[in-house]
Chain A
Amino acid sequence: MTPFAYDRAGSSADAIRLAQATAATHYLGGGTNLVDLMREGVATPDRLVDVTGLSAAIEPTPDGLRIDAAVRNTALASDPRVRRDYPLLARAIVAGASAQIRNMATVGGNLLQRTRCAYFYDDAAACNKRVPGAGCDAVDGFNRIHAILGASPACVATHPSDMAVAMAALNAVVTIDGPDGSRDVPLTDFHRLPGGTPEIETVLARGELITAVTLPPLGFGARSTYRKVRDRASYAFALVSVAAAVDVQGGTVADVRLALGGVAHKPWRAFAAEAALRGQPATAASFRAAAEAELADAVPLRDNGFKIELAKRTIVAVLEELTGEAA
Chain B
Amino acid sequence: MHFTINGRGVDADFDLRTSLLDLLRDHLGLTGSKKGCNQGACGACTVLVDGERINACLALAVQYDGRSITTVEGLADATGLSPLQAAFVEHDGFQCGYCTPGQLCSAMGMIDEVRRGVPSVVAADMADGDIVLDHDELRERMSGNLCRCGAYNGIVNAIADTFAAETHSKEPA
Tell me the A residues contacting B by CB distance below 8 Å: 1, 3-6, 28, 30-32, 35-36, 39, 48, 50, 52, 74, 77-78, 80, 83-84, 87, 90-91, 94-95, 97-101, 103-104, 222, 228, 233-235
Contacts and interface: CB of A to CB of B under 8 A. Distances in A.
Given A31-B63, A52-B63, A77-B119, A103 B126 contact: no
Given A6-B62, A31-B63, A100-B106, A78 B127 contact: no
Contacts of B59: 31, 35, 104
Contacts of A99: 53, 106, 109-110, 113, 118, 120, 141, 144
Nearest to A225: B126
Contact of A104 (B54, B117, B145): B54
B17 A1 contact: yes
A228 B121 CA distance: 10
B95 interface: no
Interface in B61-80: 62-63
Given A78-B119, A95-B121, A3 B17 contact: yes
Contact of A98 (B43, B116, B139): B43
B118 A50 contact: no
B153 interface: no
B127 A84 contact: yes
Given A31-B59, A80-B129, A90 B54 contact: no
Kindly list the 4 A-B residue pairs having the minimum CB-CB distance in the complex, ordered from nearest: A98-B144, A234-B143, A87-B126, A94-B121
Contacts, number: 106
B58 A234 contact: no
B43 A28 contact: no
Contacts of B140: 234
18 contacts: A1-B17, A4-B17, A6-B62, A30-B58, A31-B59, A32-B40, A32-B58, A39-B38, A74-B52, A83-B127, A87-B126, A94-B121, A98-B40, A98-B144, A101-B58, A104-B58, A222-B127, A233-B143
B122 to A, nearest CB: 9
Interface residues on B, range: 35 or more
A28 B17 contact: no
Contacts of A39: 38-39
B119 to A, nearest CB: 6
B100 interface: no
B19 interface: yes
B132 to A, nearest CB: 16
B16 A32 contact: no
A161 to B, nearest CB: 15
B120 A94 contact: yes
